[in-house]
Structure 1
Amino acid sequence: MDKKYYLFVNGKKIEVSEEIYKVYWQEKNHENYLKQIDKKNHLLLFSSLDQDGHFEGNVADDKCDLNKVIQTQIMIEAVRDAVSKLTDEEKEIIQSLYYNDETLRMIAKDKKISHPAMIKRRDKILSKLKDLLKDH
């Protein structure tokens, strides 16, 4: 007897393949994990904005350290500048890892190289970025 897999779509129970079921729950669990990290780090979401695009009323001003905000903005600009100095392939790897939440294994598979080779490549890129950022 084969096990059947179901997902609820618009309140309706739909039978799906085992692969679809597992991918759905993997993504759902990853999404929940990211939400927990955001909550832990007190991340402000766009949904916190009022209709005019301000955080007014949603953020207590007494907790805002203006110097830290400015330092963070300066560092963000420094990182953007450093990333812009990478090769296209290096930028693509950084984009995949840190913006698209892809794993090293996924990227290695796409690039048809081994996982250890991708680890070395990532470490080399991060070392390059560290050198570019050493004056900040």
Structure 2
Amino acid sequence: MNKKYYLFVNGKKVEVSEEIYKVYWQEKNHENYLKQIDRKNHLLLFSSFDQDGHFESNISDDKFDLNKVIQTQMMIEAVRDAISKLTDEERDIINRLYYNEENLRAVAETEKISHPALIKRRNRILGKLKKLLKDFE
């Protein structure tokens, strides 16, 4: 007996493979889990901003500290600016380790360097970022 799997795409029921079905629901469950953590930590999502980047009128919950939101946004911009000043190789390592959440061994393997060498390189890059961000504190 072949079980059929369906997903709704643009309001239409579409048959998909079992693999696609499972991957979709795994991602959907992960997304819901992350949203739950965000709500628990009272995080303000960028999706709550309007297209012009204004968010003051979108905040209806008095639990949010507007100054903290602004400070966080400024910090994000400072980190983005500091990362943009890294070399392509340094930026790639940071992206893979912290944004793509790859582990050190996997990155070391693809970079064809030892695990300890990657740790030293990562620490050097983080030191460089710390110096670039020293004025932000």
Superposition TM-score tier, normalisation by shorter sequence: 0.5 to 0.7
Change in 2 beyond 3 A, CA 1:61/1:110: same
Residue 86 (structure 1) shift: 1.1
The equivalent of 1:25 in structure 2 is 25
C-alpha contact 2:96 2:107 (8 A) present in aligned 1 = no
The equivalent of 1:111 in structure 2 is 110
Residue 128 (structure 1) shift: 3.2
Of stretches 55-64 and 86-95 in structure 1, the one that deviates more from structure 2 is: 55-64
Structure 1 counterpart of 2:102, one-letter code: T
Gaps of 5+ in 2: none
- Residues of 2 paired with 1:5 and 1:122: CA distance? 46
C-alpha contact 1:4 1:15 (8 A) present in aligned 2 = no
Scaled by the length of structure 1, what TM-score is found? 0.59
Count of aligned residue pairs for this structure pair: 132
1:26-65 mapped onto 2 (5 Å cutoff): 26-49=26-49, 53-56=54-57, 58-60=59-61, 63-64=64-65
The equivalent of 2:15 in structure 1 is 14
C-alpha contact 2:97 2:107 (8 A) present in aligned 1 = no
- Residues of 2 paired with 1:39 and 1:91: CA distance? 31
SS at match of 2:57: coil
The equivalent of 1:87 in structure 2 is 87
C-alpha contact 1:7 1:14 (8 A) present in aligned 2 = yes
Change in 2 beyond 3 A, CA 1:61/1:115: farther
For the aligned residue pairs, the C-alpha RMSD in angstroms reads 4.1
Report sequence identity in percent.
Answer: 57
- Residues of 1 paired with 2:118 and 2:66: CA distance? 37
Structure 1 counterpart of 2:94, one-letter code: I
Gaps of 5+ in 1: none
Residue 16 (structure 1) shift: 1.1
Scaled by the length of structure 2, what TM-score is found? 0.59
